[in-house]
A and B are shown apart, each in its own frame.
Chain A
Amino acid sequence: MRFDAVVIGGGNSGSAAALALVEAGLKVCVVSEGLSLGVAGSAPASIATQQNPPYARLAELSAKGATVLRGDSAVSGNWDGLKLKSVVTRNLADMPLEADFFVLATGKFFSRGLLSDMEKIWEPVFGADVYFTPGRETWSDPDFFAPQPFMKFGVLTDKEGRVLFGGKPAENLYGTGEVLAADSKALDINKLISRYAGK
C-alpha cells in the first residue's frame, strides 16, 4: 500500500496537515486511532458534538479521496537507517503503509501519543527522543490551574521539524501538534508540499 504521505494521528494537527497535503494533490493516508477531543479548552459538552473539528475533517478527508483508517493505530516502523520506509498498523498488520514521508501527530498522553509509567515517558510507535524531567514529582504543579509541566513534555525535532532519534533527525518523519515538546519545532507544511508535491 503506497502513498505519498502517511499521517499518523487524525486529531487537530494531524487532520489539518493531511487536509493541506490532500488539497496540494498528494495521495494521503491518515491513521486515526479513535476520535480526538478537538480543541483544547472546549467544554465537555461540546466535545461530543459533530462540531468537533477533527471529526468533521475526517469526513472531508474521505470525501476528498484520502484513505482514512479509523480506529486503526500505528504499531511500528520499518527503517532503512534513518529513512522510514513504511508503517505497520494493527488492523493492516501484514500490509505496511509505504510513503515518501510520514507525519507524527499522535498527540500527548490523552491520545496515547506519549505513554508513561512511574519513572519515565516515551513515544510508543517509533521510540523517538522525548523530553521530560526526571522524578515524577516534577511532572505536575500542585496548583491545578497553573501551567502543568507535563504539558511541555514531548518528542524532540530538529529545526525542520524532523523527529530525532538519539539526537539525529529522521530523513522523512516529521512531527506536528501536541506530541512535540513545547520547544520543538513543528513541520512546515508549505515546505513539505513544495518538496514532495511536484516530484
Chain B
Amino acid sequence: MQENNISEANLERCLKCNLCTLVCPMMEVNPEYPGPKKAGPDGERYRLKDPAYYDYALKYCLNCKRCEVACPSGVEIGDMIQLARIKYGSQAKRKGLLGLRDWTLASTDLVGSLSSPFAPVVNGVLGTKPVKAVLDGVLGVDSHRTFPAYSGQKFTSWFRRQDQSAFDKFVTYFHGCYVNYNYPQLGKDFVKVVNAAGYGVHLLEKEKCCGVALMSNGFAGKARKQGELNLASMRKAIAAGEPVLTSSSTCTFTMRDEYPHVLGLPNDDVRPSLMLLTKWLYGKIASGEVKLRFRKDFSMKAAYHTACHMQKLGWEYYSIELLRMIPGMELTVLDQNCCGIAGTFGFKKENYVHSQNIGSKLFASILDAGVNTVLTDCETCKWQIEAGTGLPVLNPVSVLAEALED
C-alpha cells in the first residue's frame, strides 16, 4: 500500500522543487505565463475543487514537454496542462473568427487537401500583402508568417506510381500531412533510404492527420476520432509484421504518447512498432542486418537541433549517430533549446513575439556554429529556423538519402 502514489498524470509526485521552471521556454519570455509548476500540479489541485480556477494563461503552454524531461519526479506536467485545456478550457474558448482561425490552423489535412490542387494559386494568394493583412487583421494569423507552401503534387499521388513489388520485406510509412501536402520530397527521400536498406514501403490503408494541431487548438473530439482511425490502420500493418515508421518527431510523439495520455486512446500494442525511421534504421545497422553505402564525395557542415518532442522521445541519439556515419559530415550538436514555433502556436498573432523571443537563443547558437545547414526531425522547427536564420533546414532522412551511393 502507498508505495507508489499514482494519480492522474502523477499530479501528487510533484515535490514543488521547481526544476521544471528552469527549463520552460515560455516562462522566460512571457510574464503572463505562470510556468509549468503553477499551470500544472499547483493549478490542478484547485481545478479539481472548482473549474472556475482554470487560468486562461494556460493557452501559452507550448506543449514542448521540456518540463517533463526536467522533472525528477515523473510528473506528466505537460499532459496535465493539455488535459486541463481540454477539460476546463471550453469556458475560455474564443468565439467567432478566432475560432475559425484556430480551426483553419488545426485542420491540417482538410485545408491541405483543399489547397493542393490549387497550390500555385493558394501559395500566391497566401503570400501576397493584402491577403496577409486580412489574415493578420481578421483571422489573427501573424503577418510575419508565411504559410508553408502547398506542394502541387501530393506525396500519395507520387507514391502510387512507385513500384515496390521487387522487395520481399516491407515497412509501413506514416507520412503525415506535412509530407503529403507541403513537402513530398521528404517522403521520396524516406522511400529511397528504406529501399536502400533492402525494404519496400507500404502506406497505411487509411491515414489521417495525427491530430496534434487539433489537440492544441482545443478540438480533442475530432483528434480522438482521427487517432482511432490511425490506430486501427496501424494495427493492420503491425499484424502483417510490418513496423510503422515515420519521418516527423511530433507526429510520432503524438501517436505514441499523447494518444494514451491526453486522448485516452490505449496503444500499448502499437507503441513498440511505431517509431521514427532513424531509430529503426539505427537498430538494423547496429545489429548488422543492414549496411548502407555512402557516396565518397559528400560534404556537409551541419548543426543538429533536437526538437522538443524528439527530446521527450529520447531518440535524438539515433538520428545523431546515423548522421555521424556519413563520411564528409561535419556535425555540431546544438545545446537543447526550443525554437519557439510549437506547431501552430507561433502562427497566431498573439504569440508571434513570444515565439521569436524563445527562438532567438537557438538562432544565435546556430549562427555561432558557422554551419551551412541545420538538421532536425521536426517540420515546424524547420519553418521557424529557416525564417530565423536564413539557413536551409533538412530532415536527417533527406540527408541520408542525399548521401547514399546511387
- On A, residues with C-beta under 8 Å from B are 1, 33-37, 44, 47-50, 52, 55, 59, 62-63, 67, 69-72, 89-95, 110-112, 115-118
Tell whether, in the assembled complex, residue B72 and residue A118 are in contact, meaning their CB atoms are under 8 Å apart.
no
For the complex of A and B, list the 4 residue pairs with the smallest distance between their C-beta atoms, beginning with the closest: A91-B314, A71-B69, A34-B72, A117-B3
Contact A49 B22 (CB under 8 A): yes
Chain B residue contacts of A50, Cβ below 8 A? 22
Known A34-B71, A94-B272; judge A117-B2 contact (CB<8 A). Answer: yes
Report Cα–Cα, A116/B1, bound state, in Å: 11
* Minimum C-beta distance from A52 to chain B (A): 7
Q: Are A115 and B314 in contact (CB under 8 A)?
A: no
20 further interface pairs, Cβ-Cβ under 8 Å (given A1-B286, A71-B311, A115-B3)? A35-B22, A36-B19, A37-B72, A44-B17, A47-B18, A47-B22, A59-B335, A63-B335, A70-B69, A70-B311, A71-B70, A90-B314, A91-B313, A91-B314, A94-B272, A112-B72, A112-B73, A117-B1, A117-B2, A117-B3
- In chain B, positions 1-26 with a C-beta closer than 8 Å to chain A are 1-3, 15, 17-19, 21-23
For residue A59, which residue of chain B has the nearest CB?
Answer: B335
Closest B residue, CB atoms, query A97: B317
CA distance A70 to B2 in the complex (A): 28
Chain B residue nearest to A72 (CB atoms) is B314
- Shortest Cβ distance from B313 into A: residue: A91
| Given A34-B72, A59-B335, A118 contacting B314 (CB threshold 8 A) | no
Interface 1/0s, chain B 260-289, versus A by CB < 8 A? 000000000000100000000011001000
Q: Please determine whether A116 and B314 come into contact, CB atoms closer than 8 angstroms.
A: no
Contact A110 B72 (CB under 8 A): yes
A92 touches B22 (CB 8 A): no
| CA distance in complex: A69, B69 (Å) | 10
When the two chains form their complex, are residues B18 and A111 in contact, meaning their CB atoms are under 8 A apart? no
CB-nearest residue of chain A to B314: A91
Q: How far is the CA of A70 from the CA of B306 in the complex (A)?
A: 12
> A120 → chain B, closest Cβ, in Å?
9
CB nearest neighbor in B for A71: B69
Instruction: Verify if B207 is at the interface (C-beta below 8 Å from A).
Output: no
Q: Which residues of B pack against A, CB within 8 Å?
A: 1-3, 15, 17-19, 21-23, 68-74, 272, 282-283, 286, 311-315, 317, 333, 335-336
CA distance A90 to B21 in the complex (A): 24
Hey, which chain B residues are within 8 Å of A89, CB to CB?
A: 314
Q: Does the CB pair B333–A62 fall under 8 Å?
A: yes
Residue of chain A at shortest CB distance from B336: A70
Q: List 29 A-B contacts (CB under 8 A).
A: A1-B286, A1-B317, A33-B72, A34-B19, A34-B69, A34-B70, A34-B73, A35-B22, A35-B71, A35-B72, A37-B19, A44-B17, A48-B18, A55-B22, A67-B317, A69-B317, A70-B70, A70-B314, A71-B68, A72-B314, A91-B315, A95-B286, A111-B72, A112-B73, A112-B74, A115-B3, A116-B3, A118-B1, A118-B3
Q: With both chains docked as a complex, state the minimum distance between the C-beta of B365 and any C-beta of chain A, in angstroms.
A: 11
Closest to B13 in A: A112
Inside 8 A of B22's CB, which chain A residues have their CB? Answer: 35, 47-50, 52, 55
Question: B312: nearest residue on chain A (CB-CB)?
Answer: A71
Residue in B closest to A62 when the chains form the complex, CB atoms: B333
- Residues in B neighbouring A110, C-beta threshold 8 A: 15, 17, 72
From A34, A36, A89, A93, name the one whose CB has the most chain B CB atoms within 10 angstroms: A34
Chain A: minimal CB distance from B241 (Å):
16
Compute how far the CA of A44 lies from the CA of B16 in the bound complex, rounded to whole angstroms: 10
Chain A nearest CB from B62 CB (Å) reads: 16
Q: Which of B71, B72, B317, B335 has the most CB of A within 10 A?
A: B72
Residues of chain B lying within 8 A (CB to CB) of residue A63: 335
Contacts of B17 in A (CB 8 A): 37, 44, 47, 110
Complexed CA–CA distance, A104 and B73 (Å): 18
How far, in angstroms, from A48 to B21 measured CA to CA in the complex? 7
Residues of chain B within 8 A (CB-CB) of A112 are 72-74
The answer to whether B317 touches A92 (Cβ under 8 A) is: yes
- Asked if B286 and A69 make an inter-chain contact with CB atoms under 8 angstroms apart, the answer reads no
A151 smallest CB distance to B (angstroms): 16
Residues from chain B with Cβ under 8 Å of A94 in the complex: 272, 283
Residues on B with C-beta less than 8 A from A35 are: 19, 22-23, 70-72
Closest CB of chain B to A97's CB: distance in Å?
10
Which residues on the A side are within 8 Å of B68 (C-beta)?
71
Q: Is the CB of A92 within 8 A of B314?
A: yes
B404 to chain A, nearest CB (A): 23
Q: When A71-B68, A95-B286 are in contact, do A44 and B317 touch as well, CB less than 8 Å?
A: no
Find A95's partner among B21, B283, B336 (CB 8 Å cutoff). B283
Cβ contact of B314, chosen from A36, A37, A71, cutoff 8 A: A71
Q: Give the complex CA separation of A95 and B3 in angstroms.
A: 29
Closest chain A residue, CB of each to CB of B37: A48
Nearest CB in chain B: distance from A34 CB, A: 3
